Chain A
Amino acid sequence: MAETTQLELVTPARVMVSKAAEMVVIPGTEGLFGVLPRHSALLASLQRGVVEVYEAGKVIDRIMIDGGLADVTPEGVTILAERAVDLSVTSSQELKERAQNAGEAEAEFLNLAAEAL
């Protein structure tokens, strides 16, 4: 088994993802960047986009975030995001339904997430 890095994705309400990954691709404000195990320590602000989690060379999880912050250390990466949706477990229809009941900012984000599916 290849070396892994510990990914934690935390939203204000809960710890959404906590798992080991081979590589994580993160949408930084200055461009996408990939985090491999033993990455140097980095604090980056993030923009709206999709976090991709790689396992065995393939994307296994895609999580849409609405900006936030990534705290990268050699051991792992912690992403703080105000809003996040796991694109691999939700359908675009479900997201659109949620968007209808949500506030303006939330709805915009959910609709974008539905398109990103």
Chain B
Amino acid sequence: MPNLKDLKTRINSVSSTQKITSAMKMVAAAKLRRAQEAAESGRPYAARMRSVIASLAAKADKNSASPLLVGRENVKTHLLVMMSADKGLCGGFNGSIARLARQEISRLESEGKKVQVYVVGRKAADSLGSELADKTFARIEGVQGGVIDYANAADIADKIISGFEDGSFDSVSMVYNQFVNAISQKVTHTSLIPAEVDASDADSGEAGSFYDYEPEEAEILGALLPRNLSTQIFSALLESSAAELAARMTAMDNATRNAGDMIDRLTLVYNRTRQANITKELIEIISGAEAL
């Protein structure tokens, strides 16, 4: 039979945990609203960029087009941009990124390619640990959480482009969590180089063919592709931050509820024990009285 003092201590400690998790939930909820707004107001730019790229790419000559668009023929090394959170306590958020990254790495390696990883955010890299030891191309932390600056995305993109140009790798893809709604995130894997062009994004064919270009299409496309890369990374950062906060909110909500259940159970045990103690004492008194 557990003693009363121990039970009381446990109840107290669980309820202070509950206070913490419920505070974290509130904080995540408040930040989520702002992050969600940021993610949503970032979408028009990304969408326009995609449609312009798609309509230019549809016209571009596949043979002479920039390798940023069509990729290199012989892929020896692949760069995986792995975007996770800097902080934990957000349910399966980082775990699912790490899992997908590990799958991708082993798939690419089984195809005989080398893999480099660009680590954005700490947590998924922590859980992969030594698997990344000789694979880390670059690492960046602390760009998420607060207000996300486009300059950070541009830095990441610049680094990727210069690495691509000096031949450190021949193709690039990215794994991140896409924000769907407050209770669900989608782990997404997209290709950055070669650029993923969705034909449905292109301006409808007829309108597109009457376009004038200033300067030439190829020149515009060449200037636009690096920007497209930073735009995609920026919107992934926005999505991932919103998704992280949403995941944390849900996880902390569950934790608060579990703590509540636990307190109820412990309180029940506590009351039963207390009653059992009283009964025992009464029996002792009565049997003592009878013995006289």
* A interface list, Cβ under 8 A from B: 10-15, 28-30, 40-45, 69, 71, 73, 78, 80, 82-83, 102-103, 105-106
Contacts and interface: CB of A to CB of B under 8 A. Distances in A.
Contacts of B153: 12
A44 B215 CA distance: 7
B232 to A, nearest CB: 10
A80 B49 contact: yes
The SS class assigned to the B binding surface is helix
Interface residues of B, number: 30
A69 B234 contact: no
B206 to A, nearest CB: 11
A71 B154 CA distance: 22
Interface string B223-244: 1100100110011000000000
Given A10-B48, A71-B52, A15 B41 contact: yes
B212 A69 contact: no
Nearest to B212: A42
B212 A45 contact: no
7 contacts: A11-B45, A12-B235, A28-B214, A45-B214, A45-B215, A69-B224, A82-B230
A45 B49 CA distance: 13
Given A41-B207, A42-B213, 7 more contacts: A11-B150, A13-B38, A43-B52, A44-B214, A69-B220, A80-B48, A83-B150
A86 to B, nearest CB: 16
Interface of B: 38, 41-42, 44-46, 48-49, 52, 56, 150-151, 153-154, 207, 210-215, 219-220, 223-224, 227, 230-231, 234-235
Contacts of A10: 44-45, 48
Nearest to A42: B212
Ordered nearest first, which 10 A-B pairs have the shortest CB separation? A14-B41, A44-B214, A42-B212, A12-B150, A10-B45, A41-B211, A12-B45, A103-B151, A45-B220, A41-B210
A41 to B, nearest CB: 5
Nearest to A30: B214
A41 B207 CA distance: 8
A30 B38 contact: no
